Structure formats: structure tokens, C-alpha cells
Structure 1
Amino acid sequence: MIIRRLFSMSNCSFFLKKPQFDVKRIIEMIPQYEKSIQNRELIKADSIIRSLKLLSEQYQNIKEIDKAIADIQIQRKSIEARIKKDRTEIAEYSAALKALKEQYQDQDSKLLELKNKISETCKSLPNILDPTVPLGAPQIEQWINPLEAYKTSEAQAHVGIMLKKNMLDLQTASNIAGMSWYYLLNDGARLEQALVAYALKKANENGFASCTPPSITKKELIDACGFNPRDMNNERQIYTLQDTNLGLVATAEISMAGLGANKVLDLNSAECSKKLVGVSRCYRAEAGARGRDTKGLYRVHEFTKVELFCWSKPEISAKILEEIKQFQISVVKELGLPAKVLNMPSNDLGNPAFKKYDIEAWMPGRGNFGEISSASNCTDFQSRRLNTKYKDDSTGKLKYVHTLNGTAMAIPRMMVALVENFYDPSTGKISVPECLREFMNGQRYI
């Protein structure tokens, strides 16, 4: 979908530097990359693998061209030195200099073409996979607030409940914007605000600094973050602004990652990391295939999300991922939602993710579990493309940081889970979790 032009074409200037890939390391790890490509079940897997297998030969060709260029330069400097001593020899060597110049231009052209091919291949590669990532199906890590039985109840469906309580208006939103848009009203809007306030407070208490990021960024940033979330039927995700190189962010992860672009971060504190929590509106152009998931709040085009983002030294990124997961578990426990923590399989991971956890809550009205949060370690996939580094105190060298992200609160889906689990048909009331009541003036029921 295209939104009418809002910004001038001056926004089309590029700000990211060309990514610097460790080609030698990639060549050494071709088997791991090939396995990652196959296990992720990428659509263009065969094409990517073919390009990957050419890297070693192309890298060797670059060395040969570099040597040829060096030889040409040696010959040119030798001739120039002779001419400098005796200007009468200019005529004798002019043809030789012209030939060397043509040879240099030819080799330089070949070198540029090869480097571009190598760069494109490296950019197309997904991250390698953590050895603990399962194949085929998610692996249940643990249960949160488990129930004796998970019952399906159409009476618990959030749409009917929220419409009846005047918390939601889908019809008017559909009239003015189309399907998968919505109004939150009265206690619906207050519940959203309470969830945001709760998540922000909890994140601050856990060492995350606050951030209000932009909801619009340059598409080069979106691409550099590798944001191409999988959705039903391979539907397009990003809203773009006509006649610009701008897009609406699908998650604040993108704009928060941009905060470190082209920078050297100080990660030499005791924590060896920087942690941010940001709240923003998020936009997804396609909200899913038509059906049950597009009725109500489970799949929508615009929503509020509280996002966690971290930059860390490589040696502690696995630990940071576990800390993000534990933060998310504590949120779900405090809210009282029955849920499960999943180690997600390779075919569910986006290109940037080295490893990803999801938490799915039971949603009685859907008769199924639904994802309410995720957490990913992207290692140096994003930082190489964003040129985000840190200075290693022990060596003084600049190294690429590792980036991680996680959901602190995805509002619509969390509301689905809360309404469907805590609605009591016998009283017609929705119980408000205790941890949210301070943000709703002590209100215990809706």
C-alpha cells in the first residue's frame, strides 16, 4: 500500500555506509551458512547457496587482481622515475604509459564488479543459527501460570465482549480506514494506557533507559535491520511513503537500532551493554490472510508496542537474551496469563535472528495459543549493516556490537489475552490484573 507524499525528496539521501563483511570468515563458515539457509527454508535458498559457493573463487580472484594492479603500479612508477631523470624519454615511454593506464582501468573495473558481487552475496545471507535452535517445530521451554485444562469458549471471544462494553469500535474504523483498523474507547483506551505505563515502569526498574523513537525511517534502515517478517501468503509488510525513500516502522526495533548507526558505542561499563525501552505506534501493511485472525485485535495494521532493544559485547549477548526472556516471563506471570515459552524453530526465524524465543498466551475465544511477545539475538547481523561498533578496551580495536530486541508489551494481542482469560460470563465483568490497577485508578473490574 502507498501513502501519499508527505516529505520532500531531500529525504532520499543515504546515510548508512557500505557494510563491511568479514568475507574470509564467511568462506570459512560456508557449511554453517548453507545449513542456516536450508533450515530456514528461504524462498530463494538455491540461488543464495549458488552465490555463496562462488565466494571462495571470487575472493581468490580479487587477490589476483590486486596483485596485477600492484604490478601495473610498480611498472608505472618505474617509468615515471626514468622520465623524471630524463625528460627526453617522454615520447619513448608515452605509449607504454597509455597501455598501463588502460590495463589499470580494466583491472580496476573487474575489481569493482567482483567486490559488488561479493557484497551482494554477503548481504543476502541470513545469520547463522545457534546450535540450540530446533528444526521444524517450536520447542517448549517452560509453562507460565499453567491451567489444568485449556477450554475453548466462544463466549470468551474478545470482540463480542469489548463491543458490548463499549471498549472497541470496529465498524466505524472500517468505514473510515478499512479492515483491520479499530478504535479503542473508554476502558479499552484506559487499559492500553495502563499496559504501556506498566511495561515502561517495569523496564526502567530493570535497567532499560527510556526512548521515544520515530515511527518513520528511511527504507535503507529498514533493510539494514533485515526486517522482513513472515506473514501468511508472503504478504508485503511495510507501508511506504510515495515519492520518498521512507517507510512506517513495523516495530520500534528499527528506529531504536538506528540510534546506534554509524557510531562507536561505549560498552565498557560494568554491564558491557546498553539497554533501551521505547514505545511507539507500529504499522504492518498486511495484517494476515482473511479469516478468524483478522477479526478483532489479533492482527491489525496499526498498534502500540513497547519494545526492548540492547547493544552488547559479543561475549555476553547470549546472557542478555536470557535476561530479556526472563523479563517477559515475569510480565506474563504478574498479569496472570496462562502461557508457554517457546524456543522457535529455524523456519520461523527472520534473517537477522541467531536465536529467538516466543511467548504464546492461551486465548479461549480463539481456541488456541497466540503469540504475545518475542525476543531475538541478532549477533552482528544488524550492526555490520548499520556500522555500529564499540572499542575493545583490552585491544583498543573497534569491533561490531551484538544487537538484541524483545517485546515488552504488544498492546492489542495482550488485550485479547487479558479480556478472553479474565472475563466472567456469570457477572459480565473483566477482572483487572493487580499489577495494572495502580495505572487504572485502583479499578478492579471492567
Structure 2
Amino acid sequence: MLKSTNKLILLRYASTGTKNSSTLLRAQLDLNDITNRPEEYKNSIKRRQLPNSLIQDIDFITTNRPIQSQTYTKINALKRERNELAEQIKSRSHNADAIKNRLKEIKNEIKPMEKYVKDLQEEIYSKAESLPNLIDDSVPESDVQEDIVSYINTTPEEASTFNENDSIRDHKSIGERFGILDFTIASRISGPSWYYLIGDGALLEQALIQYGLSKARSNGYNMITPPTIVKSEIIHACGFKPNDQNNEKQVYQIENEPRSLIGTAEIPLGAYHSSTIFPSNTIFPKKYVGISRSYRAEAGASGKDTKGLYRVHEFNKIELFHFTKINQSQKELENIKNFQIEIINELGLKAKVLNMPTSDLGSPAMKKYDIEAWMPGRGLWGELTSCSNCGDYQSRRLGIRFSTGNDGENSGVNNDKIEHIATLNGTCMAIPRVIVAIIEQFYDPELDVIKIPKVLRPYMDGKDVIKKQN
């Protein structure tokens, strides 16, 4: 029985098949849900435009789970017979030799059956573990026109004119000329896609960090500074892969160690409550904001995105993470999106909110919103924030659950149930990309200055513009 306390309860239970590690318990996958709703899982895979092999995996699961159950039944029947024969030998009222011979037969029958059912169980589990999350019905199909939810600080008519590259507003050229960005020295010291922020460039980064953290704290977020190196099993449990679908490296793995540098604080924030049961008196959502360095290998990146700050290997990022109940997760996703809109609006950036299509969702996500800002120097819209509802995909792999508490129907009877929670994540501030948007949207070519958004000025020593540094 679970008792409601003010402390989190660590999970302590046995698993079958794959062993628990010292860090995580085996994922508690809902195999019954897959066998009860195979067509929904197949449709979700089709909508994601994933390989048909995953649909075949669902067929394998639905076909072989009954066989697994039937085999268990046969094994248990043989074990009962074995126990009954053992009792008969004790009573010495039967032919002992015949019984012993039958016991040997039973042993020889059980051994291969147990190996077969164990191997089958592991194959079923492995195929189920590789399946992506079910997609929310409101997610648009990949082949439809961009699903724009709303615009920020602009109108659809004005946004329709944002279609040309404006080289005068290129953030790289402006930043280097102003002396606030340096890519040449960084390339010599570290390689391509690294950078120096200098003077007001470095101050602008810190202003965005302090503004973002202050904004999050005032909206009920608990601040965390997480580790930036995590174990590989944590990365896997969160649904991230070292390589992308083209087998190109996405994260930096530590040589000869099962650890990697994080690409986002979402990973250590999600793992913060791993192997935990929240007591029934827990108030949800539990909201965290984490500031960390983030590292992206970006092996497949090419072209203009590798020039400047838009796509870099290392950067500061403020991440939002929510733990809540499944039935509250859709509302919570809207709350994160609205919070992100508020930040972009206060910064004064022209942007648009997108309901991302099926092909753009990672395995954990049921639904995702992106906010993209117009970046005139690039001549493109660029992603500033993203937020996703991952349902119970991550919590089942990280072992995060909660006690529902006594339902009150039976006085004096503890009717606690244990259920998995929902996890949600969102960008509060991806610093380099916001700097790109600020420089390119707020550069005044007549005055040759970059106007600083009002909300950042208190963190910028009271300055209202960035000028060329001497």
C-alpha cells in the first residue's frame, strides 16, 4: 500500500526479461494497448511516414502475444503436474520409477518451452519499445500546406511580403562589423560552427538568459541547473538517438564511455524524477526551467545555416519541462505555447506559430508547436522555440508514476492506483537564434545601430541600442 507523504517514493519492484540497471528500471510498456488498438498504432506510423517494418512489428506483437500466453499456460500446467507427481513420490503409494521417468520428461519439455517464451517475450518487448508515440488527431498531415496557428507582431498580409534575402541585415556581417561576434578566431580555435560573443554580444546573451529565467520564475517554474553529460540509457529513454534517420551523428558521445553531451536540457530535466512515484497529494503540473550549455553535432547541416549563429555546435539554452497527469497534458501544451508567445511578443519579434506536421514529430511527441521568426538576413523563417506533448512515452521509459489516491468509494479501504504521468517540454530561450532574430529585425541601417528590445534593457546596463564597438 502506498501512503501519501511529502516525499517522493522511489520505485522498488522486479522486472522481467531485461535487467534493471543501477540508473533506470526496465520501461513499463503498455503491450495491452498495442494489441487492443493495433490499427490506431498502424495509422499513426503511416501518418508519420515511417517504414512499413514498424507496421510489421505491430503485426508480430499482436500475433505472438497470444502464443506467448498459451505457452505460459502449457508451462504452468506442466509445473502443476510436476508438483503433483512430487507429492505422490512422497506418499510412496504409486510407482516411483514411472513417476521419476515422467518428471524427467516434464523437465525436458519445460526447458525448451521456457527458452522459447523468454526469447519471444524479449522480441515482442524490443519491437514494442521501438514504436513511436501515437499522434494527436489535431496534428496536420505532412503533405498539407503549412499549418499556421497565429502570427506575432505582424499580420498575414505583411508576412506574405517576407520572401527576399536582405543582405544588409545579415547578422553575421553586422555582428562582425560591430565587433560583437567573431567566427574567424573561433574557427581557428575550435573549428567551423563555433563562435565568440564579445562585448555587447556577450551582454545580450546574458540579458536574454536573465530575462528568460526571470519570466519563467514569475510563471511558477522552479529553476534548475542540470548536468550537461548524461548516461546513454537516459538519452535513449527520453527518445533521443545518437544518429538521425540518415545515420548522421547528432550528439557528441564520450569515447569509451556510455555517456554523451546533452543536445538540450530536456534530457536531464526529464530524468530528474526518474524511477519515482509521486504521492497522491502532489500538485500538478510540476514545472521546471533549466539553463544549460547544449551541444549539437549537426553532422548533416550544410549551406548558409552553417554560417553565423543559426546552427552551431554549442550554445546556451533555457528549457521548460512539465510533469502532469495525462488528462491535463493537452491543456498544459497550450499553456507552454502561450507562455512562449508571450516572450516572443515582449521581445517585439515578428514571428508565426506553427502546428507541426506528422513528419516533423520525434518518436516521443504526440503534438508539437514551433514558433518561427522572420530572419531577413537569411531570407528565411527560422525556428526560435518548440514545445511538445510526449504523453506517457518518456515516463514509461524513465519510470515516473503517481499515486491516484483513495477514490473515497469504500471507506477505510486504500484504493490507490499507480499511473504513469505525462511529460511536456518547451524552449524558453534558444539564445543564438534569438540573437539572430534581434540583430536582423532590429538593425537600423540609417543609424547603423541594433535596437535593443525594451524588456532586455534593464539587463543591458540601461542601453537602448548596440553600436559598433571600438
Superposition TM-score tier, normalisation by shorter sequence: over 0.9
TM-superposed deviation, 1:109:
0.6
1:424 aligns with 2:444: yes
CA distance in 1, matches of 2:37, 2:326: 18
Q: Quick one: structure 1 residues 416 and 423, their matched pair in 2 at CA, closer, same or farther if it must change by over 3 Å?
A: same
CA contact (8 A) 1:230 1:350 kept: no
Instruction: Give 1:121 shift.
Output: 1.1
Q: Which moved more, 1:130-139 or 1:409-418?
A: 130-139
Return the alpha-carbon distance in structure 1 between the equivalents of residues 458 and 179 of structure 2: 22
Residue identity matched to 1:161: I
Give the drift of 1:84.
2.1
Alignment of 1:9-28 (within 5 A): 15-28=23-36
Structure 2: runs of 5 or more not aligned:
1-20, 408-414
Q: 2:381 aligns with which of 364, 369, 380?
A: 369
Aligned-pair CA distance for 1:94: 2.4
Deviation at 1:24, TM superposition (A): 1.5
Q: Of residues 376, 385, 388 in structure 1, which corresponds to 2:397?
A: 385
The Cα shift of 1:21 comes to 1.5
Task: Tell me the CA shift for residue 269 of structure 1.
Answer: 4.2
User: Which residue of structure 1 aligns with residue 12 of structure 2?
Assistant: none
In 2, distance between residues paired with 1:442 and 1:158? 23
Return the offset for 1:266: 3.9
Query: Structure 1 residue 168 and structure 2 residue 181: aligned?
Result: yes
SS in 2 for 1:17: coil
Among 238, 254, 269, the residue aligned to 1:225? 238
Task: Give the C-alpha shift of residue 256 in structure 1.
Answer: 0.7
- Are the equivalent residues in 2 in contact too, given 1:304–1:410 (CA < 8 A)? yes
| Mean Cα deviation higher: 370-379 or 46-55 | 46-55
2:102 is matched with: 96
The 1:207–1:254 alpha-carbon spacing in structure 2 relative to 1, beyond 3 Å, is: same
Mean alpha-carbon deviation: is it higher for 203-212 or for 133-142?
Answer: 133-142
Deviations 1:6-52 (A, max 9, x none): xxxxxxx652211121212111221111111112122xx11111111
Contact 1:14 1:220 in 2 (8 A): no
- In the other structure, the counterpart of 1:3 is none
What number of residue pairs does the alignment pair up?
432
- Identity among equivalent pairs (%): 44
Q: Distance in 2 between matches of 1:230 and 1:431?
A: 40
> 1:442 maps to which residue?
462
Separation of aligned partners in 1, 2:198 and 2:97 = 87
Q: CA deviation at 1:231?
A: 6.8
Match of 2:69 in 1: 63
The question of 1:154 aligning with 2:167 is answered yes
Q: How does 1:123-134 map to 2 (within 5 A)?
A: 123-134=129-140
Aligned partners of 1:287 and 1:301 also within 8 Å: no
Instruction: Please say if residues 194 and 440 of structure 1, whose CA atoms lie closer than 8 Å, have aligned partners that are also in contact.
Output: yes
- Does the 8 Å CA contact 1:288/1:299 hold for their aligned counterparts? no
**2:277 alignment partner AA:** V
Following superposition, the deviation at residue 235 of structure 1 comes to: 2.7
Give yes or no for contact 1:288–1:294 (8 Å, CA) kept in 2: no
> Partner amino acid for 1:183?
Y
* Of 52, 77, 80, the match for 1:74: 80
Residue equivalent to 1:304? 316
State the partner residue of 1:315.
Answer: 327
CA separation of 1:315 and 1:81: change in aligned 2, threshold 3 A: same
Compared with structure 1, are the counterparts of its residues 191 and 230 closer, same or farther at alpha carbon in structure 2 (3 Å cutoff)?
Answer: farther
Letter in 2 for 1:225: C
Shift of 1:229: 9.1
Which string of whole-angstrom CA distances, capped at 9 and with x for unpartnered residues, describes residues 88-129 of structure 1? Answer: 965443222222122222111111111111111111111111
Q: Which residue of 2 aligns with 1:8?
A: none
Aligned twin of 1:5: none
Task: Identify the match of residue 202 of structure 2 among 189, 200, 218.
Answer: 189
**Which segment is superposed worse, 64-73 or 145-154?**
145-154
| Counterpart pick for 1:116 among 115, 122, 132 | 122
Match of 1:284 among 292, 296, 305: 296
Distance 1:224 1:232 in 2: 17
1:35 aligned partner: 43
| Matching residue's letter, 1:264 | I
**1:154–1:231 CA distance, 2 compared to 1 (3 A):** farther
Match of 1:245 in 2: 258
Cα gap change, 1:56 to 1:195, in 2 (>3 Å) = same
**Which whole-Å deviations, capped at 9, do the CAs of 1:363-400 have from their partners, x for residues lacking one?**
01011110000000000111111111011123411100
How do 1:321-360 residues align onto structure 2 when only pairs under 5 Å count? 321-360=333-372
CA distance in 2, matches of 1:326, 1:380: 22
Counterpart-to-counterpart distance in 1, 2:109 and 2:390: 43
Letter in 2 for 1:20: Q
Partners of 2:280 and 2:263 lie apart in 1 by 28
The one-letter code matched in structure 2 to 1:170 is F
RMSD across aligned positions (CA): 1.9
Once residues 143 and 234 of structure 1 are traced to their aligned partners in structure 2, the CA distance between those partners, rounded to angstroms, is 35
Counterpart amino acid of residue 82 in structure 1? Q
